[in-house]
A and B are shown apart, each in its own frame.
Chain A
Amino acid sequence: MDFAFSQDQQQLRTAVRRWLADRVPPERLAELADSPGGWDPTSWAELVGLGWVGLSAPDGGGGFLDEAVLLEEAGYAILPGPLLTTMVAAPALVAGGADPTRATALAWPAWLPAGAPAGPTAVATGAGGGWTVTGVLPDVPDLGAAQQAVVVAATGSGPGLFLVEPAGPTVDVRVLATTDATRRVGRLTLDATPAAPLSLGPATAGLVEAMRRRGWAALALEAVGVAQRALDLAAEHAKVREQFGRAIGSYQAVSHRVADVYVRTELARSLAYRAAWCVATAEQEPDAVTAAEVDVACASAKAAATEAAVFACEAAIQVLGGTGMTWDHVVHRYYKRALANESAAGSPAALRAVVAEHLLGAA
């Protein structure tokens, strides 16, 4: 039993944190969030150049535990851009022989808990050796930043996975106004759009499952980073802000709330790291963990960590007082990301229903 990241992974964390602190300090984050595009496209080439995209591809030199380090740190700094979605889409990209280092968007329904009402909302048609996809994908994170999009579409023989270029006359990309301006959601409308099949037939279900788990674990890891940053913001302020002649952190009404944030964050961290290990192990040694184990670990982590991040941000806003309510302070960027992560890819209640089904059987 060893529950720690390796030396290499710890070095990776240091390098990633340094790079993020340099590239997205709070002022820069605010600038990007308030800009029309919402992110810095030049950052993508840098990430690829550093070898941090496509880590879990066969020649990527890593696995999901390395990606976990990146995801947590990306949450701590809030890195705008399609890193998370590209990582989540990796199994489909790798299976279909597509480039896992191109910025990728993934249609959100693929992330929902199994049995959720939202099945594929697109239909694929194969004719003359080529495929086209038609349909509306209403909820695609980072669509505006993506060079390619993975879409789940119904075929005559069950769902298939397809890769489309989100540009051209048969495609309409509409980036929607979102509360979290650092991860904008788009609506992708495809009208007989040429599509490359990544997976057809029975293998598709397994890939969708793999992406769903990656998605849950990824959002959990990012949420841990968000919660940690909120904790740091609250603690820094509570140490220096004085009222009634004392630092407010010396009042237990304040300090105990901060302690609760620490506890919730640590518990979420344990669950998120455990989920990351389950995903990595399922991908590298499929016989070493059961499907149920991975499912429950990822659903639990996503439910608990995204709630912890919201709890942490709400506490941070309260500790910061009026400053926490301003547009100028960075905390609202974290709060909005926390709320977005909580509602994305299955609410905490929907994920607890997944856990309940494993414990109690079907409802």
Chain B
Amino acid sequence: MDFRDTPEEAAFRAELRTWLAANLPEGWADRDPRAGLEDVEFSRTWSKRLHAAGYVGLTWPVEYGGRGLPPTYQGVFLEESARADAPAHVGVIGLGMAGPTIIAWGSEEQKARFLPPLLAGDEIWCQGFSEPGAGSDLAGVRTRAVLDGDEWVVTGQKVWSSYAHVADWCILVTRTDPDAERHRGLSYLLLDMHAPGVEVRPLRQITGDPEFNEIYLTDVRVPRASMLGQPGDGWSVAMTTLLHERGTLGFALTARLEALLARLVETARRTRPDGVRPADDPLVRDRIAASAIDLEALRYTNYRALTALVKTGVPGPEGSVAKLHWSEANQRLTKLAVDLLGPQGRLDGPDALWDGFWTYQQLRSRGNTIEAGTSEILRSIIAERVVGLPRSR
């Protein structure tokens, strides 16, 4: 057991730290902390800079444009990016979900076509899994794909799709065989978001921001060659995507929580307009310490997961633990932060501290226990697959 970097990891970390210090976009540190994805071009430019320096696809195979490094290097990258408060790569869905799934299931042609522009930030991906009638129960997907000559004709509706309004491609789960058993009738398509018949409608969230979207598909024609796996493989391919979604998430979530904890401490140390300095209150101190312990528990659980992944090559159950814990820890921390603002906690936008940063984070956090596997689904996964309890349904 040793938490310190190996000499190679230390060298990588030092080189990255220097690079980040020299390359962070001008004015980035003073940005509006609420700023989301509105500025896609900013995000894309940053992604290209990261890619040119070799920091994208660190763990991906060399033949597909990656660097073939062990997962610990991705951990170092995320830690240092968080420490430098660097912007994220624009391809969150592409790098974390679409890419690994294409690597696992794609043909050589598909890999050559999709992976390089994904890494370079030239093409943005979104996810078309959930539907109005199929949320946690993904096998209930009703979006139909019918073969017509050399094309699948797709009709249906997807929902809760982040990035869809800016995406070029979509990983899409469709029903190709309505007569087969639910899980066996699904197929996985790579959908061109610019194709005729694709309509994206933004959904305004609890925060007021349109972060996710509905996707309406009306007789969209998808080439036969754009399927991952064979017809009927959709469920297995989708499980690969979800495994990667949870597997790579831990470090990114820790980084985000760490940044929020630093702001929480800063918030507690400010003297409010009503003269109260929250950091002097023992009850506040107790809750902040509890948040700090939440963060450390998450950090070291990720390290254990990473060690298991490096040693065995298979992601352990710690991934579900990390997501479940992070979502609740983030809700507690952001709620505490709003509490610390006292009467000012009711203010929003330009009238609030940091342009309403905390209100936004607190409201947004309610989605954390729903997105990427609800806490209820994750608890069932842990109970059944890890603890070995009988199936609940």
Contacts and interface: CB of A to CB of B under 8 A. Distances in A.
Contacts of A251: 392
B319 to A, nearest CB: 11
A353 B283 CA distance: 10
B300 A259 contact: no
Contacts of B72: 1
B335 interface: no
Contacts of B136: none
A32 to B, nearest CB: 30
A304 interface: yes
A45 interface: no
Contacts of B3: 1-3, 274, 277
B74 to A, nearest CB: 12
Interface in A243-282: 246-247, 249-252, 254-256, 258-260, 262-263, 266-271, 273-274, 277
B371 interface: no
B216 interface: no
Query: Which of B280, B303, B379, B387 counts the most chain A CB atoms within 10 A?
Result: B387
A360 B288 contact: yes
Contact of B300 (A246, A258, A262, A271): A271
B300 A352 contact: no
A273 B392 CA distance: 33
Interface stretch (A96-104, A121-129, A146-154, A231-239): A231-239
Contact-size category for B: 35 or more
Given A256-B380, A259-B382, A300-B293, A270 B304 contact: yes
Nearest to B293: A300
B1 A249 contact: no
A339 B374 CA distance: 32
Contact-size category for A: 35 or more
Given A273-B304, A353-B285, A1 B325 contact: no
A363 B288 CA distance: 13
Interface stretch (B4-12, B53-61, B145-153): B4-12
Given A249-B389, A255-B384, A266-B318, A271 B5 contact: no
B301 interface: yes
A292 interface: no
A5 interface: yes
Nearest to B5: A1
15 contacts: A2-B307, A3-B306, A238-B389, A252-B376, A255-B379, A256-B379, A258-B387, A259-B379, A270-B297, A270-B300, A273-B300, A274-B303, A297-B296, A352-B285, A352-B286
Contacts of B290: 352
A227 to B, nearest CB: 13
Interface in B336-393: 376, 378-380, 382-384, 386-392
Interface string B296-334: 111011011011100100000010010011000000000
Interface of B: 1-6, 9, 72, 75, 265, 268-269, 279-280, 282, 285-286, 288-290, 292-293, 296-298, 300-301, 303-304, 306-308, 311, 318, 321, 324-325, 376, 378-380, 382-384, 386-392
A320 to B, nearest CB: 15
Nearest to A253: B392
A361 interface: yes
A360 B297 contact: no
Which 6 pairs, one residue from A and one from B, show the smallest C-beta to C-beta distance?
A: A352-B289, A249-B389, A270-B300, A255-B383, A356-B285, A267-B297
Contacts of A50: none
